[in-house]
Amino acid sequence: MEKLEKIDATEKGRNYRILLILSVFIFTVPFWAGLIPGSILHMDIVNLMVLAGTYACAVIGLNLLVGYAGQISLGHAAFFGIGAYTTAILCTRMAWFPTWLGVILGGLVAGIIGWLVGVPVLRLKGHYLAMATLGLGEIAFILFTQLKGLTGGTLGILNIPSLSIFGLEFDTEFKLYFLIWAVVMLMMLLSINIICSRVGRALRALHSSDDAAEAMGINTARYKTMIFVLSAVFAGIGGALFAHFLNYIDPASFTFFLSILFITMVVIGGMGNIWGGLVGVIFLIFLPEVIQGLPHWIPLVPESLTNFGNYELVVYGLLLILFMMYMPKGIAFGLSRGTSYAKTKFGHLRDRISARKYEGH
């Protein structure tokens, strides 16, 4: 039985190790980010990473839904927005309202709405589910714009207070960075545990075949709803953190474009790869910045690249197509292939070196 424990445990153990190493890395970033020639690239790394962290919450959940359970959502910006508006409304209307509670309620409200929407919508499959979730995103956007009394309409909500938890103020990017990435890492830990569990197996099973999963006693409708709600909660928390980070929100932050960006992040990072969400978020948050920065430090690169925002969508669309065609498992899969390749190469090298040593003796 010992041999067996390993088969299953290695994957999980490996993921825990990666999570630990990644956490150490992520939490040191703010200390050395200022030292690298970031100014050349005209990037504020800490600022971008905080934004990436809020998006990561949504994308990690979306990867569970799309990558593992095989259910599409083209409307997750709705949940991100619902989380943001929930805490923004509560904390600006009532100055005494604890911001941390606003974030939790943001996740909760997004989850409840996710449940109300998910129960009917998840009966649909493929294109129909895609269209329905697309509609969800549009309706949410219209409500954010039209419920002026509550949301402030197109002007949005200003002066959202910074996060504070029991007197601990997260009023600078530097401080917020640690809080947000702690939340992201916690979500990663939850995801790893879920994927390697009874629930995770049920989700992967229904992804493969609804009929076969049901024949195994899995209530597919219930599990689809469950993971949809969880992904909505993650997105809602991400949105709430986003609101407290920018201190200002308006409907333009939660459009169809954001839903597509989330999906693109999942696909490019790696659908059904536990690290795919994170990789996709960081890649796509930094890509435009790097491209816009190119003209500043490489001569002869056309100035027009600084207007990347104008053709951002085209580039994302192209990336989506190219990845679907040539790298459907995403960057994260490529990375893990790369490291195992490097390991075997390095291993050979090490063997050769030690072999030579022995010859020398």
Binding site for another protein (CB under 8 A): 1, 4-5, 7-8, 190, 193-194, 197-202, 204-205, 207-209, 211-220, 226, 230, 272
For 2, counting Cβ atoms within 10 Å of its Cβ (0-12 exposed, 13-18 middle, 19+ buried), the class is exposed
- Looking at the Cβ atoms of 146 and 197, the one nearer to another protein is 197
Q: How far apart are CA 199 and CA 224, in angstroms?
A: 11
Q: How far apart are CA 268 and CA 331, in angstroms?
A: 6
Residue 190 Cα distances to 55, 57, 183, 234, 241, angstroms: 17, 12, 11, 11, 19
- Looking at the Cβ atoms of 214 and 289, the one nearer to another protein is 214
Rounded least distance, CB 139 to another protein, Å: 27
CA 73, distance to chain mean position in Å, is: 14
- Looking at the Cβ atoms of 226 and 284, the one nearer to another protein is 226
Angle at 65 between CA 284 and CA 182, to 5 degrees: 60
Tokens of 247: 């201190």
Q: In the structure, how many helices (H) and strands (E) does the chain have?
A: 15, 2
- Looking at the Cβ atoms of 213 and 332, the one nearer to another protein is 213
Rounded least distance, CB 304 to another protein, Å: 44
Rounded least distance, CB 133 to another protein, Å: 21
Rounded least distance, CB 189 to another protein, Å: 8
Rounded least distance, CB 186 to another protein, Å: 10
- Looking at the Cβ atoms of 208 and 307, the one nearer to another protein is 208
